Chain A
Amino acid sequence: MTSSPQSGQRAVGKLADPIGADAPLDREALEEIFDDIRTHPRYDSELNGCLNCGICTATCPSAHYYDYSPREIVQLLWTENVEGIYDAMQEKIWACAQCYTCAARCPFGNSPGGLVMVMREVAIKHGMESAKEVLRPFSRVMLKVMTTGNQLAPNMITPEHFPDWGPNISKVEAPLNILRKAIPMPTLHTQETAWAVNLKTSIELYTIWEESGVLDQLETMDENLFDVIVDIMDEKREDYADWLEEQDDDDDDD
């Protein structure tokens, strides 16, 4: 993974010595990031202490394949090592597979996986380049879930997008629309969404994105994607308003 430095931030790859003098950002900026982590509503329930026993790392799938250790994440937070925390947010936190095996096994009741989620949220809040880089391939899923209420659609699963899944998405050859109509659940006769989603439903979800600050997160991370989503949803809201108006007219006629 590579990343270009933002103003005031050093390049990824030149990781600082957490106890050395070569600070990656000024102390104030590092503490601001840590403050956002420490005051996150999940933080207190995810971190209760740490004896460095390493049960979490011993059972961690990502630790098999990456330079990643949930024990290290917990220790950095527990000792409030703001430089080490910042370093871990550049790359390591994105290695976590979010299985929560660490949380299930920790004798202290910590959730290293939950702490990683807090750090990912804060990395996004601060618009870290590393987060933008990591999330670029995720934009197709993001567009789908933000505008439809479904995270995955049948027409997203193609051999072009998943060449390592083999040549056949279906072992019976037929057009996708026919195969989908041959599923005996009427809600699944769709290609653009995993199931047919009521227009009102997707607008309700969009309202949740707006009101909970998720759209702001997205704007920080990918302004173009944000603009596309806003355009699509403005149109959907207009469609819904038109439909409601038609209903009122029909009621008046009655």
Chain B
Amino acid sequence: MSDNGERFTGHGEEWRDARLSAQDARTATSWVEAKIDKRALLTNKDRVEDVRDAMWQLEKDGEIIVHRVGDQHEPVMAKTLYGWDKKIPTNQLWHHKSCGQCGNIPGYPASLLWLMNQTETRYLDETDQTSCTAWNYHGSGIGNIVSLAAVFLRNFHQAYVSAQAEGLDPGYYYPLVHCGTSFGNYKEVRHFLMHSAELREQVRKILAKLDRLIDGKLLIPEEIVHYSEWLHVMRGRIADKQQIDASNIRVTIHPACHVYKMVPEDVIYDDDVLDGNRVAVSTGIMQEMGTQVIDYSTWYDCCGFGFRHIISEREFTRSFAIDRKIKVAVEEARADVMVGHDTGCITTLDKNQWIGKAVGKDYALPVLADCQVAALLCGAHPYKIVQMHWHASPFEDLLEKLGIDWQRAKAEFEGYLEEVAQGKIETLYEPRRAITSGEGYRP
């Protein structure tokens, strides 16, 4: 307001103040918030196409071969943003690992594999896989659409042929992508590949050099599937294995930008999960396992990871993470835990809380991946399997609230470390399966 009492509103001369009381303004705002269909914010587009139509046409034209989600993969149908079907394979899965998860929060993939063991899901975790390289690309700009596409199809080709190392047919395993950025990036790249003959030709030449073509053609996956989608369609079967009651736990979900904002038309929405207004993954399994999922006003915000920022502009990353996500989850939603489904988000939201103490922002909110919470509730060991010790924010209160004796579990793990030092290592699968070619491979 200026000195003469004039208000500058930015709405032009015709604008008139409604002069609502504070109470009426709050009521009006609440009405609008209740009426907004949050899904509509993503669907107000003119140009939306199902890229799979172009994919089938290219296969018909003899340009590509599609790696199908077949009956052997025991698919479950899910509905995406526009109500399209997406086939989610539930068995015979090839783990496309995440560099950030494996390097930094290894209980994330370990919990997923443990859940697969519990549900008798066959899988392959092997050494013939690269990072998707998209973190590097989005952070630095080094890389390009050709390199990203070639990496995508190289890794997915390996997923296709990997079973031959075990004497099985190609296509036996279907790739399951762990990282949200890999998932978003691969889908974005698939779109460009389906629409550019020039890009396909450039990539074909590179993959020919690597002997990564099938009958001289590019191999394109029918679906690009994120692990959280597997978890979502398996939520009933996983909940059947639940051992720990979680009805007293207040959960806030942090959905990952590269999972649901990048290529949004391919993301699962389920009418039974928040009326289909929010992406269904993670929320669905948390509800299925009986936790209280609490909405909060900055649900839509990113975590602050920023790709480049987490390395070299950390003041942005930690300020955004604390002020826009963690603080809101604690003060507004009174959350016991924040649950996510992506590498960068879990890392950012978990690791950047400690420094908040320096400015009196000591929120201490545990941050875990959905599969870690699911594994804990199904009785996985908090340290040996869920590997909680790599998480920076305090999680001990959460475990106590769940009735888990973390001190005993920690002591057990410390005892196990002594066995590890003597070479007595427990693994989720037979280690020699991890090597499918080259040095160390045994047919």
Using a CB–CB distance below 8 Å, which chain A residues touch chain B? 41-42, 45, 48, 59, 61-62, 64-66, 94, 97-101, 103-105, 107, 109, 117, 120-121, 123-124, 131, 134-135, 137-138, 141-142, 145, 149-154, 156-157, 162, 164-166, 168-172, 174, 178-189, 193-202, 204-205, 207-209, 211-214, 217-218, 221, 243
Contacts and interface: CB of A to CB of B under 8 A. Distances in A.
Interface string B124-139: 0111111101011111
Contacts of A48: 47
B414 A172 contact: yes
Interface string B174-207: 0000000000100000011001101100100110
Contacts of B260: 104
20 contacts: A65-B316, A94-B308, A99-B261, A100-B261, A104-B264, A109-B45, A165-B351, A166-B351, A170-B389, A172-B383, A172-B389, A172-B413, A172-B414, A184-B114, A185-B427, A197-B127, A198-B127, A204-B210, A211-B150, A213-B144
A77 B195 CA distance: 23
Contact of B130 (A45, A98, A131, A149): A149
Interface string B106-150: 110110011000000000011111110101111111111111001
A103 B126 contact: no
Interface stretch (B224-232, B282-290, B317-325, B331-339): B317-325
Nearest to A221: B142
Contacts of A169: 390
Given A150-B130, A183-B106, A184-B110, A142 B417 contact: no
A116 B131 CA distance: 23
Contact of A61 (B199, B212, B324, B416): B324
A212 B427 contact: no
A41 B146 CA distance: 10
Contact of B392 (A104, A137, A149, A165): A165
Given A100-B261, A104-B264, A142-B140, A184 B129 contact: no
B57 interface: no
Nearest to A205: B130
Contact of B131 (A101, A150, A154, A212): A150
Interface string B8-49: 000000000000000000000000000000000110111110
A193 B306 CA distance: 22
A212 B210 CA distance: 13
Interface in B261-298: 261-262, 264
A151 B102 contact: no
A184 B147 contact: no
B154 A164 contact: no
B206 A100 contact: no
Contacts of B47: 48, 109
A154 B103 contact: yes
Interface in B340-398: 351-352, 354-355, 383-385, 387-392
B318 A164 contact: yes
B113 to A, nearest CB: 6
A172 B137 contact: no
Interface of B: 41-42, 44-48, 97-104, 106-107, 109-110, 113-114, 125-131, 133, 135-147, 150-151, 154, 158, 184, 191-192, 195-196, 198-199, 202, 205-206, 209-210, 212, 257-258, 260-262, 264, 300-302, 304-309, 311-312, 314, 316, 318-320, 324, 351-352, 354-355, 383-385, 387-392, 410, 413-414, 416-417, 420-421, 425-429, 431, 434-439
A164 B210 contact: no
Given A184-B113, A185-B113, A214-B143, 10 more contacts: A94-B308, A97-B306, A99-B261, A120-B140, A135-B142, A152-B100, A170-B390, A185-B110, A198-B128, A200-B128
| Chain A contact residues: helix, strand, loop or mixed | helix
B206 A207 contact: yes
Contacts of B209: 207, 211
Contacts of B354: 164-166
A217 B142 contact: yes
A196 B127 contact: yes
A185 B389 contact: no
Kindly name the residue among B41, B100, B127, B146 whose own CB sees the greatest number of chain A CB atoms within 10 A: B127
Contact of B413 (A97, A142, A182, A196): A182
A97 B106 contact: no
A120 B138 CA distance: 9
Kindly name the residue among A154, A168, A198 whose own CB sees the greatest number of chain B CB atoms within 10 A: A198
A153 B103 contact: yes
Given A48-B47, A187-B125, A204-B210, A194 B102 contact: yes
B304 A61 contact: yes
Across the A-B interface, the 5 shortest Cβ-Cβ residue pairs: A120-B141, A166-B354, A194-B103, A104-B261, A186-B431
A185 B114 CA distance: 10
Given A154-B104, A196-B434, A207-B206, A100 B392 contact: no
A101 B318 CA distance: 19
A101 B436 CA distance: 39
Contacts of B428: 184-185
A186 B429 contact: yes
Given A121-B141, A195-B102, A187 B198 contact: no
A166 B130 contact: no
A150 to B, nearest CB: 5
Contact of A200 (B125, B312, B389, B437): B437
Contact of A218 (B142, B388, B416): B142
A195 B427 CA distance: 15
